[in-house]
Amino acid sequence: MRMGRFLLVGGAGFIGSHFTDVLLGKDGVESVTIYDNLSSGRDWHFRKHLGNPKFKFVNGDVKDIETLKRAMDGSEVVIHLASNPDIARAATEPDIDFREGTYLTERVLEAMRLTSAKRILYASGSGVYGELGMVEAGEDYGPLVPISTYGASKLAGEVLISSYCHMFDLTACVFRFGNVVGPRQTHGVGFDFVRSLRSEPERLRILGDGGQSKSYIYVEDVIRAVLTAHEKTAQKFQTYNVATGDYITVREIAELAVECVGLDRSKVKFEFAGGDRGWKGDVAVVRLNTDRIRGLGWKNKRNSREALQESMNALLRDAELLYASVKA
């Protein structure tokens, strides 16, 4: 399948900015448009591309369907990344994942129905599976019973996409990611630990009991998985788990953060909040079967520990550069 003309909805964020970098350097890509209202995305993520004739940025809200349609028309492929980035926020604002998740997906699909874009690559997540303990879930596992409104919103997005594919001749690849990490990350456990240790190096507060265990995947591996599936998937609708196949606990991530920041572990006190999870709706243990995406020839270059280590080191480098620029 040819690459074509891309619209990145929510493309100014962490993952979207890396997609932009890769797509603009890839043969066969004719254009890349970012559509983002910059509520959580950042303009410095794409600023270096503003002089590229293949690149365009449109500042717009997904809920504004007329602006979205104008930006989308002429594109062939939509990479849909827009959603609520703060998963724990739903505990105090339960409708956030509908307003900034499911509804956004419906708007994207409706705009696609009315424009030239007929293929969607959707960023879903492992939260659609709910709480399965040590069960390694494949894409056809069911029933799917999310335990968070974030997981529910992602699953609702998936079934909306499936319905539009079958009713209005769209095609789709849906990706259930593990925890994505890397440079330009704006939240997440490793990110939070590094920031906390830099401001208060003698102690580290850890949500839950530290036993939470998940896969952490480097953003470059995610992008290769998505584009591999885009090129090789002929089905009208297909889902893919994208993860490393190995797992790391929150306690181990805390130890790694101390190492990356360059602190003496014996001088850092870990303070556990207690309980078996970080917040209501957090899935403490996630196991994903990735045979389907690997069957297309994809494999991850970094394991969970390596992905987190590189992500935290990138955060420290960016912080030093920011400090240096402000000081200058």
Tens digit of each residue's pLDDT (9 = 90 or more) over 2-41: 678 999 999 999 999 999 999 999 999 999 999 999 998 9
125 Cβ contact partners less than 8 Å away, ≥ 6 residues apart: 150, 151, 154, 176, 177
Q: How many CA atoms lie within 13 A of 128 on its CB side?
A: 28
Confidence at residue 327, expressed as pLDDT on a 0 to 100 scale: 40
101-112 residue pLDDT tens: 999 999 999 999
Cα–Cα distance between 102 and 266 in angstroms, integer?
46
Q: Which pLDDT belongs to residue 190?
A: 94
| CA–CA gap between residue 274 and residue 323 (Å, rounded) | 35
- Average pLDDT (298-310) is 98
Residue given tokens 């509520």 in the structure block: 39
| Partners of 59 in the β-ladder | 36
pLDDT at residue 326, rounded to an integer: 35
Q: Where along the chain do its domains lie?
A: 4-181+217-242, 189-213+246-286+303-327
Of the chain, the percentage scoring pLDDT greater than 70 comes to 96
**Average pLDDT of the segment spanning 306-313:** 97
Mean pLDDT, the chain, as a whole number?
Answer: 94
Instruction: Name the amino acid, one letter, at 156.
Output: A
Q: What pLDDT digit, counting tens, does each position of 155-191 carry? A: 999 999 999 999 999 999 999 999 999 999 988 899 9
Nearest to 210 by CA among 275, 264, 152: 275
* CATH classification number, 4-181+217-242, choose in 3.40.190.10, 1.10.357.10, 3.40.50.720, 3.90.550.10: 3.40.50.720
Q: Which residue has the higher pLDDT, 321 or 250?
A: 250
Average pLDDT on 240-260 reads 97
* 3-state SS, residue 167: helix
Q: Which CATH class is domain 189-213+246-286+303-327?
A: alpha beta
Q: Is the separation of the CB atoms in 149 and 279 below 8 Å? A: no
- The string of pLDDT tens digits covering residues 267-298 is 999 999 999 888 888 899 999 999 999 999 99
Q: Look at residue 301 in the predicted model and tell me its pLDDT.
A: 98
Q: How far apart are CA 74 and CA 77, in angstroms?
A: 10
Query: How far apart, in Å, are the Cα atoms of 1 and each of 4, 6, 135, 225?
Result: 9, 14, 34, 15
Task: Say which residue, 86 or 20, is predicted with more confidence.
Answer: 20
Q: Give mean pLDDT, residues 299-310.
A: 98
Q: What is the pLDDT of residue 320?
A: 59
Question: Do the first three CATH levels of 4-181+217-242 and 189-213+246-286+303-327 match, i.e. the same topology?
Answer: no
* Tokens matching residue 326: 């402000």
Res 318: pLDDT: 81
